[in-house]
């Protein structure tokens, strides 16, 4: 009979020996905040051009994380996120009440854009 420790050791070995499609390579370490998070709201007009999703006039310097929540009423506008030309056909959908979180490399952040076919309100938090 195998002990729990032996079983866990065997599982870990099987996940890290390089033969599986999914492997555990390391445990991520949490990143500490280095500045006060910036929060705000963005209103997107129905069918208008994609809007940058940021809490202020520019992306927060050294941003490590971007949190986006569609705060439109339930059953209301779907937010679509993506690059500068995002549309409802090309964007990642975020329904009312849902949240999208993306970790970013502080030295190379990219602006995320939002689009909606209906009037939509988005809560944004940027963390550096």
HEC readout, 56-83: CCCCCCCCCEEEEEECCCCCCCCEEEEC
Classify domain 30-127 at the CATH topology level.
Answer: Jelly Rolls (2.60.120)
Output the pLDDT for position 127.
94
Output the pLDDT for position 58.
93
In angstroms, the first-to-last Cα distance of the chain is 50
119 has a pLDDT exceeding 70: yes
Residues 78-100: pLDDT tens digits? 999 999 999 999 999 999 999 99
38 burial class (0-12, 13-18, 19+ CB within 10 angstroms)? middle
Every domain of the chain and the residues it spans: 30-127
121 has a pLDDT exceeding 90: yes
Pair 11, 91: CB distance under 8 Å? no
pLDDT band at 35 (very low <50, low <70, confident <90, very high): confident
| pTM for the predicted model, two decimal places | 0.72
What is the Cα–Cα distance from 35 to 123, expressed in whole angstroms? 19
């Amino acid at each position: 009979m195998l002990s729990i420790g032996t079983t866990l050791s065997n599982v870990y070995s099987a996940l890290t020996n390089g033969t599986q499609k999914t492997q555990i390579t390391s445990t991520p370490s949490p990143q500490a905040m280095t500045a006060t998070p910036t929060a705000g709201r963005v209103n997107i007009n129905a069918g208008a051009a994609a809007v940058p999703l940021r809490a202020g006039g520019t992306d927060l310097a050294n941003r490590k994380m971007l949190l986006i929540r569609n705060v439109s009423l339930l059953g209301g506008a779907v937010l679509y996120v993506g690059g500068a030309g995002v549309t409802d056909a090309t964007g990642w959908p975020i329904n009312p009440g849902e949240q999208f979180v993306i970790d970013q490399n502080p030295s190379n952040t990219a602006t995320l854009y939002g689009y909606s076919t209906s009037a939509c309100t988005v809560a944004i938090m940027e963390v550096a």
